[in-house]
Structure 1
Amino acid sequence: MTEPPSGLSSPDVEVKSLQLDDRPESESADSGIGDGDELPVPQQILISNVTCDSFKISWNMESRGQDRITHYFVDLNKKEDKSSNKFKHMDVPTKLVAKAVPLPMTVRGHWFLSPRTEYTVAVQTATKQPDGEYAVSAWSEIVEFCTADYSTVQLKQLLLKAEAIAGRMLPFTVFYRNQQREYFQPNSQYYRSRDAQCCRMLPSVKDNSGSHGSPISGKLEGIFFSCNTEFNTGRPPQDSPYGPYRFQIQADLLFNQNTNAYFGDFYCMYTSYHYVIVVLAPSGSKGDIFCRGKLPALDRSNNCFLSCGEEEDGSLSFRHAQDVILEVLYTEPVDVSLGTVSQISGHQLMSLSTLNAKKDPSCKVCNISVGR
């Protein structure tokens, strides 16, 4: 727990790690710690003001023994399940000790709190004795809560990191999307992201690849496109991890003066190359409304990743960043008849697939202080 930012009234609380043994809910943290029978037990735990790496906590307790309380013990644990965050720092103690202060108090710390992660928390009151030992109350009830997504503050931190490595801009003319043959066949039963009758590609909910706290994962619907080109040819690469059939569409049909652009994520997957997600949403669309206030907006004609400029003759020109792999998430249906489908001559490089890919939590290039 550290000093809360301006606008939060919670007290400045010093937090230290405290090695406590696992215990049944009704027992104190350590039988060797002093008798705390006269200390009040926290009741009706309330969690509020939850962010991606902090929360406020308060509770009620009987007046008996309150004057003896010098510290609070906070037992914070990640709620384990099959989809739990595999990258939590397991060596960091989650048993915390804080000096007793007026409630609510803010628990803050990216070293033990991860975004979009479920936790359980319980509290004891304690008295520090002259010999340095503690007398403690029984544990409170256990309550559950989930940390929040990255806010625009954290996303802007990611944006600055991504801008630092984006490199020079290269021209391109088409967006493209690779899939298996069945994806483009009418009435195919293999893919649900097609409206076969109307020959449209339909948006689907973004998976959980990338940064753990990205607000678009599992929430924003869209269709992923690429626009990266080979440096020596200026054309899309012939290899793809997603299938040997490629849909190509002229860039101005998806990205024009009526399209808003947003920064969505920046990550890597234990490799030397990095990915940037740019969201393209037609102005006023469902996707555009979702992105407003959640994602940093990009200047359509002047940003480091994906730009749309207007030439003197009124035509549009497009550029993409050279040194990152762009994933462009378009939030609306796309009519297949607006483009072309052909088979590529390269290979399926499955190692490059980002489907549900996990971000490298140790990378200093694409991680920020609040975690993955």
Structure 2
Amino acid sequence: MEEPPPSSMRSLQLQDREGKESADSGIGDVDDLPVPQQIQISNISCDSFKISWDMDSRGQEKITHYFIDLNKKENKKENMFKHKDLPTKLVAKAVPLPMTVRGHWFLSPRTEYTVAVQTAAKQRDGDYSISQWSEIAEFCTADYSSVHLIQLLHKAEAIAGRMLPFTVFYRDQQREYFQQASPSYRSRDAQCCRMLLAVKDDSGSNGSPISGKLEGIFFSCNTEFNTGDLPQDSPYGPYRFQINADFLFNHNTNIYFGDFYCMYMSYHYVILVLAPDSSKGDVFCKGRLPELDRSNNCFLTCTRKDDGSLVFHHAQDVILEVIYTEPVDLSLGTVSRISGHQLMSLSTVNAKKDPSCKTCNISVGR
């Protein structure tokens, strides 16, 4: 382990299990060392946290290292047929507390972890004397910060491609969604006149602050690059609601960047949020998501012509998923059957991001 930087808040860089020092090698019997108590976790980000604890003064002068056992908190049912992961022992030289644990290649955003600590004294022969383990503490890493989302935005901008014109937003669903109230479709009202808001699912980047929190309605706007027509295949259903673009996107609508991801395929998705000014969704997005210039960005634009009419364009080389944050009345558009296939394999419902893709991942994990 490298020497921690000489500051009051030292950083502990996470090491491979086969690093220079391993907490599993050369461990002696439990010595008369203080046991960490009252583990305190603070300053949690998507890829770091600060840790401190209390301990008796007796034997503190012997401590040379801390051993930290950091593990993902897994669902036991999910792991019942898997080999139990070896615990991840992190070794840090004894430094003033609290200290920062940071490691983007290990810590993932929005992930629950358990942590326990031992104090240790390194002997002349290289072995360690150790204390008993502390009690286990639990914590969950945070969402991407605005800084991380800006990094993701810049990666998305790099591949967005040229802009193509479009005139309508559309939403594909099963026939029943548009025809009757059903317990299967809680995003419809009882009178079947409005599409209601639903909480954003867990698709996309693990650290996106909109997943499981933002309420809205998903729409698409992509067109076929060679014809300008709407695609006739859909993963979500053979019936399509179409609405003129200016009903959802105009100069009273704010636009935000929400996510950039892929699903082990060559094409990439960008999630955008359209929120009417000062609406509940707009209030949620401000300060959490990067706001885009509605008339000048790489993904989705609304510009006004000299005659006052609005013109709309979308990026060619990414698939846009647009979340509108207010209910939408079906009377504002039309519903019709599309002629293509229902490609269920292309559904992004709860789809997980490819953590190995260099195009859409940043330095803080998926």
TM-score w.r.t. the length of structure 2 is 0.92
Match of 1:110 among 104, 107, 129: 104
The within-5 A match list for 1:82-93 is none
When structure 1 is superposed on structure 2, of 186-195 and 147-156 the one drifting more is 186-195
Does the 8 Å CA contact 2:9/2:98 hold for their aligned counterparts? yes
- Indicate how the Cα distance of structure 1 residues 322 and 16 shifts in structure 2: closer, same or farther if over 3 A, else same: closer
Alignment partner, residue 26 of structure 1: none
Amino acid across the alignment from 1:119:
Y
Alignment partner, residue 240 of structure 1: 234
> Is residue 215 of structure 1 aligned with residue 214 of structure 2?
no
The within-5 A match list for 1:50-69 is 50-69=44-63
Does the 8 Å CA contact 1:209/1:354 hold for their aligned counterparts? yes
CA distance in 1, matches of 2:286, 2:136: 36
Per-residue CA distance 1:121-171 (angstroms, 9 max, x = gap): 000011111111111111001011000111111111110100000000000
Alignment partner, residue 367 of structure 1: 361
Alignment partner, residue 10 of structure 1: 9
- Indicate how the Cα distance of structure 1 residues 120 and 369 shifts in structure 2: closer, same or farther if over 3 A, else same: same
Does the 8 Å CA contact 1:13/1:101 hold for their aligned counterparts? no
Alignment partner, residue 183 of structure 1: 177
Match of 1:333 among 302, 327, 333: 327
SS at match of 1:260: strand
Amino acid across the alignment from 2:9:
S
Alignment partner, residue 153 of structure 1: 147
Amino acid across the alignment from 1:11:
R
- Indicate how the Cα distance of structure 1 residues 271 and 39 shifts in structure 2: closer, same or farther if over 3 A, else same: same
Does the 8 Å CA contact 2:178/2:192 hold for their aligned counterparts? no
- Indicate how the Cα distance of structure 1 residues 59 and 145 shifts in structure 2: closer, same or farther if over 3 A, else same: same
CA RMSD of aligned residues (A): 2.4
Does the 8 Å CA contact 2:232/2:341 hold for their aligned counterparts? yes
Does the 8 Å CA contact 1:17/1:93 hold for their aligned counterparts? no
CA distance in 1, matches of 2:361, 2:24: 37
Amino acid across the alignment from 1:185:
Q
Amino acid across the alignment from 1:71:
H
CA distance in 2, matches of 1:37, 1:18: 24
When structure 1 is superposed on structure 2, of 272-281 and 8-17 the one drifting more is 8-17
- Indicate how the Cα distance of structure 1 residues 275 and 14 shifts in structure 2: closer, same or farther if over 3 A, else same: closer
Match of 1:357 among 329, 348, 351: 351
SS at match of 1:183: helix
- Indicate how the Cα distance of structure 1 residues 186 and 2 shifts in structure 2: closer, same or farther if over 3 A, else same: farther
The within-5 A match list for 1:282-301 is 282-301=276-295
Alignment partner, residue 130 of structure 1: 124
Identity %: 79
Quote how far apart the aligned CAs of 1:84 are.
7.8
Alignment partner, residue 25 of structure 1: none
Does the 8 Å CA contact 1:77/1:94 hold for their aligned counterparts? yes
Per-residue CA distance 1:159-189 (angstroms, 9 max, x = gap): 0100000000000000000001101114345
Quote how far apart the aligned CAs of 1:16 are.
4.0
CA distance in 1, matches of 2:293, 2:75: 40
SS at match of 1:165: coil
Does the 8 Å CA contact 1:84/1:117 hold for their aligned counterparts? no
Does the 8 Å CA contact 2:200/2:212 hold for their aligned counterparts? yes
5+ residue gaps, structure 2, are none
Per-residue CA distance 1:263-299 (angstroms, 9 max, x = gap): 0000000100000000000111111111111111111
Match of 2:247 among 249, 253, 257: 253
Match of 1:98 among 92, 95, 100: 92
SS at match of 1:155: helix
Alignment partner, residue 316 of structure 2: 322
Does the 8 Å CA contact 2:12/2:102 hold for their aligned counterparts? no
Quote how far apart the aligned CAs of 1:17 are.
4.4
Amino acid across the alignment from 1:101:
V
SS at match of 2:149: helix
CA distance in 2, matches of 1:281, 1:84: 37
Quote how far apart the aligned CAs of 1:12 are.
3.8
5+ residue gaps, structure 1, are 21-28
Match of 1:47 among 16, 41, 62: 41
SS at match of 2:158: helix
CA distance in 1, matches of 2:313, 2:76: 41
Does the 8 Å CA contact 1:17/1:97 hold for their aligned counterparts? no
Aligned length: 358
Per-residue CA distance 1:41-72 (angstroms, 9 max, x = gap): 10000000000010000000001111111110
Does the 8 Å CA contact 1:47/1:145 hold for their aligned counterparts? yes
CA distance in 2, matches of 1:218, 1:31: 42
When structure 1 is superposed on structure 2, of 54-63 and 227-236 the one drifting more is 227-236
CA distance in 2, matches of 1:297, 1:217: 17
Does the 8 Å CA contact 1:170/1:319 hold for their aligned counterparts? yes
Alignment partner, residue 24 of structure 1: none
CA distance in 2, matches of 1:343, 1:3: 65
